[in-house]
Amino acid sequence: MTAIRRGTRSPVAVVEDCLDRIAERDGTVNAFVTVLEDEALDRARAAEQAVESGRSLGPLHGVPVAIKDAYAYKAGVPNTFGSRAMTDFVPESSAPLVERLEAAGAIIVGKTNTPEFASKGVTDNGLVGRTKNPFDPERHPNGSSGGSAAAVASGMVPLAQGSDHAGSIRGPASACNLVGVFPSPGRVPQGFRPDAFKYDLPYVSSGPLARTVTDAALFLNVVAGPDPSEPYSLPDTVDFTDAVSDSIAEASIAYSPEFAGFHVSEAVRDVVGSAAESFEQVGARVSRVDPAVDDWDAPHRALTAGLEVLFASFAEDMLAEHDIDLLARREQIDPHVVDRIEAGYEYDAVSYKQSNVARTAVFDALQSVFETHDFLLTPTVAVPPIRADAGPPDTVDGHRLKRAHDLVLTWPVNLTGHPAASVPAGLVDGLPVGMQIIGPRFDDRAVLAAAATVEDVRPWDGHYPN
C-alpha cells in the first residue's frame, strides 16, 4: 500500500502479479471459485490513474483482496455458497463490508471456496472440490473460510475476508499460519435481509485473514464501524492500526491449554505453551486458568441447536427473498446439509430459547476470568492440519472425541461474543499451529495489541511456502 501511494508500485502491476500467481498456483491449491480478472484489471487501471492525477486515495487503494463465496455478496457476481444448487444465484447488491472495501480502494479479485453453505470445518464441496493446504496439499486448510486462508498463505492475495460461525476464520488461520480475527459481533456490519437479526445464536462475525497483524488491523479499520441499517451495530469506532503499537507489558494473562474440556495433542500443547510464555518477555504475567463450567456438553448442544435452526431459517430466507427452494433442490445438495436444514425445523421455540441457559454459564465463566485477567489464551485447534485422505481423527493422544466440534477450541466464543483472534504459534513437523487470544467483551483493540506482541516476540514471516 505504501509503495502504491508513493508511486513506486503500479496498482496495475500489483493486480497483474496477483492474477499471475492465481493462474500459477490455484490449479494446485483450488482456493478460488470465481476469479474476476477483467474487472480487477479495469479497477486497477482506474486506481493507477487516481495515483497519477494526485487524487485522494483510500487506505486500501489498489490492494488486491479476496472475499469468501458465502455471505459476502458482491453485486453482479455469482455467489454459490459452494453449492451446486446455487450456481444461478447472482445478488443484486453488495454486502456492507464489500462496499466498504471497494470504497477504500480495495480491488476484489475473486470469490474463495467454502464448504457447502459454510457447513463444516473442512473446505470441500461438490461444486469445485477440495481446497488444499499450501503447507501440504494432502492436508486440509480447515474451514469454512479455508479458501480465503489458502489464498493468502500461498501468496495469491495479501488479504482475504472470512466469516466465523464456530471458528471458521480462526481454524483456517491456525492451519495456514495466518492472523485470523473474530471481531466483536456488531463490529463489522452484516447487512442480512430479510432477517436483520439473524445471527444471535451463534454469534457470527466477518473478519480478516492476513499474514501480519498490521494487515489485519488495516482491513478491520476499513470494514468495521457503525451502520444504522444494522440492528446489532456497535456505536463506537476503533482505530485498529494504532492498537498494533499498544503495550501489554503489565497485562495479566490466563492460559487454558485444554479450554472447554478439549483434549489437545501434546505437540500442539508444547508449541502453544511456548508461545503463551513468550508474553513474559515483555513483562506480562501468565498463569494457568481454566474457565469454570460444570458441563461443556450442554453449551455444545446449544451451539448445535443454533446452527441447525440457522440453516432452516436460511432456507426460509432464500425462499422468501430470492424464490430459491433449497429443499426442492435437495438432489444438488450434500445430504449432511439437508439433514441440518430439516433438523432445524424440529425445534420448538421454548427449547430453542432454553439454549441460552447453557450459553449463559459459559458467558459467566469467561466474565469471571476477565475480572482478574486481561486476556485468555488457548490453542486454536487441538491437532495440526489433518490429512484429507484420513478424515478427522476419532482420538487425540488416546482420548476419544465425542462432540462434533471437538477439534476446534473456538466455538465457546461464538456463544459469548467475546472478540478473539488466532495467531501463528509455531510449527509441528512443518505444519502450522495457532494460538487463540480471547479478549474482554468489546475490547477488540486489546486483542490486536496482544496479537502484535506475539508477532514481535515470535515473528512468523519466514514460515510460508513459495
- Please identify every residue annotated as catalytic: 68, 144, 168
Give the closest residue to 147 by CA, choosing from 110, 121, 112: 112
Q: How far apart are CA 144 and CA 142, in angstroms?
A: 7
Contacts of 285 (CB under 8 A, 6+ apart): 251, 252, 253
Give the closest residue to 14 by CA, choosing from 35, 41, 49, 33: 41
Q: Report the DSSP pairing between strands 420-428 and 179-182.
A: antiparallel
The answer to whether 406 touches 253, Cβ cutoff 8 Å, is no
Phi and psi dihedrals of 285, rounded to 5? -110, 130
Three-class DSSP category at 33: strand
Q: How far apart are CA 452 and CA 327, in angstroms?
A: 45
Torsion angle defined by CA atoms of residues 345, 169, 147 and 423, in that order, rounded to the nearest 10 degrees:
-160
Three-class DSSP category at 402: coil
Torsion angle defined by CA atoms of residues 80, 84, 89 and 93, in that order, rounded to the nearest 10 degrees:
-10
Give the closest residue to 412 by CA, choosing from 366, 346, 355: 366
Phi and psi dihedrals of 105, rounded to 5? 95, -5
The answer to whether 420 touches 450, Cβ cutoff 8 Å, is no
